[in-house]
Structure 1
Amino acid sequence: MSVKEEIYSQIVGALEGASFPIGNPEDLFAAFPDGADTTCKSGDVVLKASDAGKVLTGDDFPFKSAENVAQTIVDRAGL
């Protein structure tokens, strides 16, 4: 599994119990188990939920699924 696939899978897993759609960054952070401190790791790559705030824009919302969140984050993070 590539780094991108592993991080994607971890994000989807972290958002497993989240209620969608998610309409803003605050609600997205709240949906993660450890909030903005939720961390995904693959090899030397460490990605915190708070890092998502650096790559997401208001136009990305609302998110309709965990997969939508994960795909947007891994694409924008350049993984």
Structure 2
Amino acid sequence: MKMGVKEDIRGQIIGALAGADFPINSPEELMAALPNGPDTTCKSGDVELKASDAGQVLTADDFPFKSAEEVADTIVNKAGL
């Protein structure tokens, strides 16, 4: 069964943050935790989501993040995937 775009992107975000130290307290820390920083890109089918784009949908109220799953869930929900 084919994964949906949302699940696919979510999985890629979690994978990208596999080596990150949590909690992540700011957008700057989040970008620093990603392998290619703001240029880190997740792709699924026709959908492409750059970390810099994802950073624009996050607000100070979203932080701190306690896990990669929490980051991924917040980004895919706010990005409207």
- TM-score norm. by structure 1 comes to 0.99
Listed as ranges, the gaps of 5+ residues in structure 1 are: none
1:34-57 CA-to-partner distances (Å, cap 9, x unmatched) read 000000000000000001121100
1:8-57 CA-to-partner distances (Å, cap 9, x unmatched) read 00000000000000000000000000000000000000000001121100
TM-aligned CA deviation for residue 6 of structure 1: 0.1
Q: Aligned residue for 1:15?
A: 17
How many residue pairs get aligned? The number is: 79
Query: After TM superposition, which residue ranges in structure 1, 4 or more long, deviate above 6 angstroms?
Result: none
Q: Aligned residue for 1:68?
A: 70
Q: Aligned residue for 1:6?
A: 8
Listed as ranges, the gaps of 5+ residues in structure 2 are: none
In 2, Cα distance between the equivalents of 1:60 and 1:76? Answer: 10
In 2, Cα distance between the equivalents of 1:62 and 1:41? Answer: 25
- Superposition CA RMSD, Å: 0.4
| Correspondent of 2:61 among 34, 59, 70 | 59
Q: SS in structure 2 opposite 1:23?
A: coil
| Aligned-residue identity in percent | 73
